[in-house]
Structure 1
Amino acid sequence: MVLDFMEHCLRTYYRHGIRWSEEHYYSSLCEDSKRILDFPTPTGLKLTLGKTVAPQFKSCHSLGIPTVRSIGFLFSSIPVELPPVDLADGGWSDSEKLRPSSASSANGGVPPPPLAETEPAPRDPRPYLLYGRLFEDWRLEALATKSLSDRTLFVASGLSSWDGSATAGGRDSGTGMGADPSKFTTQIFHRTPNWCGEAIYSTDDHVVGLSGLYRIQGTNWAAGSELYYTGKERSGGLSVGGRYRVSHGPNARSTLTLLASPMMGHVSSAYTTTIRPNLTMATRYDLNVYSYEADVAVGLEYAHGKTDQVVKAKISLMQGLALKLEGRYQQAVFSVGLMTQFTVNPRRSIGVEVQIF
């Protein structure tokens, strides 16, 4: 999966800087299937230049047609050395060990604790990271994260618009448009070897939420739930989900996820598996039990190791067809994609994105 340069820096900081895995979040429960069925495709032309000014300081410049131009900076209190971009990574965490598909195991099938809990802590006991990006329309995107302890992480992010025309007219009573696009979000994460919890507050619709994911020790099962309240609509919601993973060997595994939102009537099931070396397939079925609206999606991902390229394809009754080619040549990472919908007035797009690190 081709990441934006700043996203690549942030992921490297989490994984190797503070050894924090985002894979244990409840929001990442369906990450394996989303990687294949919900991949974004580039629109128009975009060129990104990323540079490591110092081990603790990174910069990024983007130029796009018709997308806006931007400039970004990232600073971390600890040095972060960027590894080469792994196109076939897909967000898999090296810290999570799965039970093999056979019943025999040297330790009785009980997975060891995450790598993040066993390796020594970084040199800075309370590392932090600051990130900011300014767009050509004066939108400012910012993020700050700080480790409060080895098990607790605080994250604050926001998006602010300095364009007075965006809010001068106020909110339109008929469409709800014209409201202040600025928003601010705070999150606190706490983890143990088998559990990770999150508390979140967002000024966007004034959402307050709690979520947690528990990995059942001695099995490949994980279960979690999310509870949230929306102040704008004065209503709440509940989501419950489960995940089963089994390993078939190096870089090969199968994942089954079930997700339900009882109040919204939404039920989703997804299955992702490695059907042959370097070829992964995912399927997903979504159903709303109240409206009986349903969607079926199928996707494939092929990672050609010798040419360092990844090909993705998906088809969905509601989202349409999407194709994407990702590759790397020396210090350049490129992405070519197209998508179209199966509707009366379909939305179509085609684009090319090049990043030089």
Structure 2
Amino acid sequence: MLGFMDYVQSAFYEASHWNRDNSYGTLNATAQALLDYDTPRGLRLHISSLAAPNFATSYTVGSVGIVDGSISYLYSSLPILTSAKSSDIDLHHVIKGYRHLRDLRRPDEDWWWEIWHSGKRIDRRDTLLYGRIFLPRSTLEALYLRRLSPTKQLKICCVSDSSLNNGGTILALLQSDVGKYSTEYMYSTDSALLGIRGLYNFGPDPRENVVAPTIPEDVVEPIHGRFSAGAELYYGILNKSGGLSTGLRFTTLPHHTGFPYTMTLTLNPLMGNLLSTYAVKAGQNLALCSRFHFNFYSYESDLQLGCELWTRRRNTDIEWAVKKLRPDWKRVTLKPDEDVTGVLKARVDQDWRIGVLWEGRIKELLFTLGASLDLKRREQIFRAIGVELQYSS
């Protein structure tokens, strides 16, 4: 489940019209959401607040052997007008699951962002600042995010920790997204790493009017899927080593009438890694995913399977609630996830390592209950078990 600060950052991206899915870095986001979730350890409590539309705070206390925690602050020049109470947050916005990609959006025009007053331009670029300190080890992480234009964004991530080389590291990303394609240029102080990556979407260009003026839009058949291809190249100046990878993705779009599904294939020729994933939304409440990894140098392989099941209230309970509210339906608004009680996730690999997660809401609290098992270790099957509770206002 997303933390409160990650939830606010997602709201910032939405408010500033930035599509995070149109990036090579998120090519395998669907499989990662269904297979790579963290299993909580021990007991952890998060208390957060969106004190003002531009300012958020979060405090975390955990107990895994020793008592630890963190303190976080976030500032956004763009007002975050979204539900902040844990009792009102849509679970679909905080629980990572099957990702339905949307149609590509035409970028805003530059002049749309201009604000003039008395003949002077007074608009400023949207900026987000975030910082978190971990206690008691005093590790500090920070994020600077600035929208440079409707198609460009600057992102700088910093970590300060005495255990790292030079006491910390800085990663800078200059991102560009015009809809049809996206590019990213990155630099990291770790090994003086330079990199570039990009993603290209085949099909119509959202910047162009693909509908002929003489043909009504409702007559044109919508596009049901999107095929994308991308690659990345990076090189470390200090250690004089580099890397290369390329990937493909096909996913169905909202107009698709059958089962939504996503397929990806990524290749790292220097390391010999081949990775393929397939995820399908098999029903309204069920999603399945598989991931196969193979190294054609060592012939080693790995297979993972996972699923997510959204649990809902019984139909009889929903029908009773609808009948009860029907006389007063004009004054009652149901939340989008009114009938959702939680999400059950499970994964297993070829070595019989199992991860189970249950996420949902109880009264005013969001909860995550998880366990990690290793069936081959008979003397200690349970590797980890824990509970996370979140409350926000």
Give the counterpart letter for 2:361 in structure 1.
R
**Counterpart in 1 of 2:328?**
none
Alpha-carbon distance in 2 for matches of 1:231, 1:282 = 38
Q: Is the contact between residue 56 and residue 76 of structure 1 (CA under 8 Å) also seen in structure 2?
A: yes
1:82 is displaced (CA, Å) by: 2.6
* Contact 1:87/1:308 (8 A) holds in 2: no
Q: Equivalent of 2:226, from 217, 220, 227?
A: 220
User: After the TM superposition, which of the residue ranges 335-344 and 55-64 deviates more from structure 2?
Assistant: 335-344
Once the two structures are TM-superposed, the CA of residue 19 in structure 1 deviates from its matched residue by 1.2
CA distance in 1, matches of 2:290, 2:100: 24
2:279 and 2:382 map into 1 onto residues whose CA distance is: 27
Per the alignment, in what secondary structure is the counterpart of residue 41 of structure 1? coil
Alignment of 1:176-191 (within 5 A): 179-191=165-177
1:80 equivalenced with 2:98 (yes/no):
no
Report the equivalent of 2:133: 134
Say which SS state the counterpart of residue 277 (structure 1) adopts.
coil
Could you give the per-residue CA deviations for residues 216-249 of structure 1, whole angstroms, max 9, x where no partner exists?
1146100000001123431111101000112475
Q: Would you say 1:261 and 2:294 are equivalent positions?
A: no
Q: How far apart, CA to CA, are the structure 2 residues paired with 1:235 and 1:309?
A: 46
Residue 3 of structure 2 corresponds to 4
Q: Partner residue of 2:32?
A: 34
Contact 1:117-1:193 at 8 Å conserved across structures: no
Q: Any conservation in 2 of the 1:95–1:114 contact (CA below 8 Å)? A: no
Residue in structure 1 matched with residue 235 of structure 2 by the alignment:
229
Kept in 2: contact 1:156–1:184 (CA 8 A) = yes
SS in 2 for 1:24: coil
Q: What is the count of residue pairs matched by the alignment?
A: 326
Report what 1:172 is aligned to: none
Q: Which stretch shows the higher mean deviation, 347-356 or 255-264?
A: 347-356
Mapped contact 2:22–2:179 kept (Cα < 8 A)? no
1:209 matched to 2:244? The reply is no
Structure 2 partner of 1:193: 179
Cα distance in 1 for partners of 2:166, 2:275 equals 33
1:312 maps onto 2:303 in alignment: no
Q: Is the 8 A contact 1:87 1:326 kept in 2?
A: no
Instruction: Return the alpha-carbon distance in structure 2 between the equivalents of residues 323 and 118 of structure 1.
Output: 46
User: Structure 2 length as normaliser, TM-score?
Assistant: 0.77
**Structure 2 CA distance for partners of 1:114 and 1:318, relative to 1, 3 Å:** farther
1:331/1:288 Cα in 2 relative to 1: closer, same or farther (>3 Å)? same
Q: 1:289 pairs with 285, 296, 300, which one?
A: 296
Letter matched to residue 182 of structure 2: C
Residues 279, 95 of structure 1: alpha-carbon distance in 2 compared, 3 angstrom cutoff = closer
Check whether the contact 2:60–2:69 (CA below 8 A) recurs between aligned residues. yes
Q: Percent same amino acid among aligned pairs?
A: 30
**1:151-186 superposed Cα distances (whole Å, 9 cap, x missing partner):** 10001111113x5xx4xxxxxxxxxxx744511110
1:14 is displaced (CA, Å) by: 0.8
Deviates more, 1:211-220 or 1:70-79: 211-220
CA contact (8 A) 1:26 1:224 kept: yes
Gap change, CA 1:330 and 1:185, over 3 Å in 2: same
Which one of 223, 234, 250 corresponds to residue 244 of structure 1?
250
Check 1:303–1:121 CA distance in 2 against 1; reply closer, same or farther (3 A cut).
farther
**What is the CA deviation profile of residues 284-330 of structure 1, one whole-angstrom value per residue up to 9, with x for unaligned ones?**
11000011110011000111242331110000125821000000134
Using the TM superposition, name which of 80-89 and 293-302 deviates more. 80-89
- Kept in 1, the 8 Å contact 2:355–2:373? The answer is yes
Could you tell me which runs of 5 or more consecutive residues in structure 2 were left unpaired when the two chains were aligned: 116-122, 205-224, 313-338
Structure 1 residue 91: deviation in Å?
Answer: 6.9
- Aligned residues: CA RMSD: 2.6
* Alpha-carbon contact 1:131-1:143 (below 8 Å) kept: yes
In structure 2, what residue type is equivalent to 1:353?
E
Between 322-331 and 141-150, the greater mean CA deviation after superposition: 322-331
CA distance in 2, matches of 1:94, 1:81: 23
Q: Distance in 1 between matches of 2:185 and 2:173?
A: 6
Cα pair 1:157 1:184 within 8 Å, conserved: yes
**Equivalent residue letter for 1:22:** R
How much does 1:215 deviate? 0.8
Cα distance change on mapping 1:95 and 1:297 into 2, 3 Å:
closer
Q: Distance in 2 between matches of 1:325 and 1:59?
A: 26
User: 5+ unaligned residues in a row in structure 1: which ranges?
Assistant: 98-112, 167-177
Q: Flag the 1:147–1:272 CA change in 2: closer, same or farther, 3 A.
A: same
Shift in CA distance, 121/356, structure 1 to aligned 2, threshold 3 Å: farther
Following superposition of structure 1 onto structure 2, how do residues 17-166 of structure 1 map, counting pairs within 5 Å? Answer: 18-66=16-64, 68-83=68-83, 84-89=88-93, 90=96, 96-97=102-103, 113-114=104-105, 117=108, 121=113, 125-136=124-135, 137-161=137-161, 166=163
Query: Aligned to 2:309, what secondary structure does the other structure show?
Result: strand
Name whichever of 276-285 and 124-133 sits farther off. 124-133
Over 3 Å counting, the alpha-carbon distance change for 1:125 and 1:214 in structure 2 is: farther
| CA shift for structure 1 position 205 | 3.3
